[in-house]
Amino acid sequence: MILSNDNKYRGNLGSTLKLDEYSHVEKPFLEQLAGLGWEVLELQMQQQPGQSFRTSFSEVVLRPKLREALVKINPFLTDAQVDELERKITTFQKSSLLENNQQVLHYLLENTTVSKNEQTGELSPTVRFVDFDNLENNSFTAISQFKVVVTGTDHHIIPDMVLFVNGLPLVVVEAKSSKVKEPIPEAIDQLMRYSEQRGDTGEGNKELFFYNQILVTTCRTEAKFGTITTQIEKHFYRWTDPYPKTLTQLEN
């Protein structure tokens, strides 16, 4: 994850690290996701918002994917109700990262309602943003180099990978080359930087992390995961379960 105008990856050493990071960490990660049925989009540093289902780089939700999933999961919804639900999941009254993250989690787990099922007349029918019972009703999209504007500036952050469920950015992945001296701590620091949890503003885009449920740091054969409140390495948990594959399958 880098600033688009960052000098960090310029020069021969930076190019070597970035190439190693992509070839040995990002690409295998994306290939695994593709094998699990995820739609994978690999973008370049120079990109247009439309390549990632957006109208501008200030958007962090893939709205077409969200709307499509809402109708598939809740087929009784009208266009006006889909508009209402889209506003509900993308509108925040508070500035607190944690409070807004809790708001999204509430919608994901507890669902919400609309005033009426126009097909049956049922009042206040339940509406789900994620179908936990029928996974085929959900969309799974992985985007590498997901460009997002740094709030209040003309700069951008570019996370290595963002994983979307029904258009919502639930996972952010920071990959590092094994040639970096301390890859996992450096990856964690970048995640904290870009979720603006280091005490400074103008470093990232908190809204991207309003939806976040899992942070992943990975370096070749090592991966650790946590949440937006997991801010130091010792609180990140080592990823040990290769489900749905087995360790034997991975070794082969």
Per-residue confidence at 248, pLDDT binned at 50, 70, 90? confident
Mean pLDDT of all residues in 203-226: 93
Cβ(223)–Cβ(239) below 8 Å:
yes
Q: Is the pLDDT assigned to residue 3 strictly greater than 60?
A: no
The pLDDT of residue 29: 92
Distances (CA, A) of 82 to 65, 66, 72, 225, 236: 12, 9, 11, 33, 37
The pLDDT of residue 153: 92
CATH code of the region 2-57+138-251: 3.90.1570
**What percent of the chain shows pLDDT beyond 90?**
71
Domain ranges of the chain: 2-57+138-251, 63-136
Mean pLDDT of all residues in 102-107: 97
Write the pLDDT tens digit of every residue in 109-137. 999 999 999 999 999 999 999 999 999 99
Write the pLDDT tens digit of every residue in 25-60. 999 999 999 999 999 999 998 999 999 999 999 999
> Of the ranges 19-23, 168-172, 214-218, 245-249, which one carries the lowest mean pLDDT score?
245-249
Residue 229 has, within 13 A of its CA and on its CB side, a CA count of 6
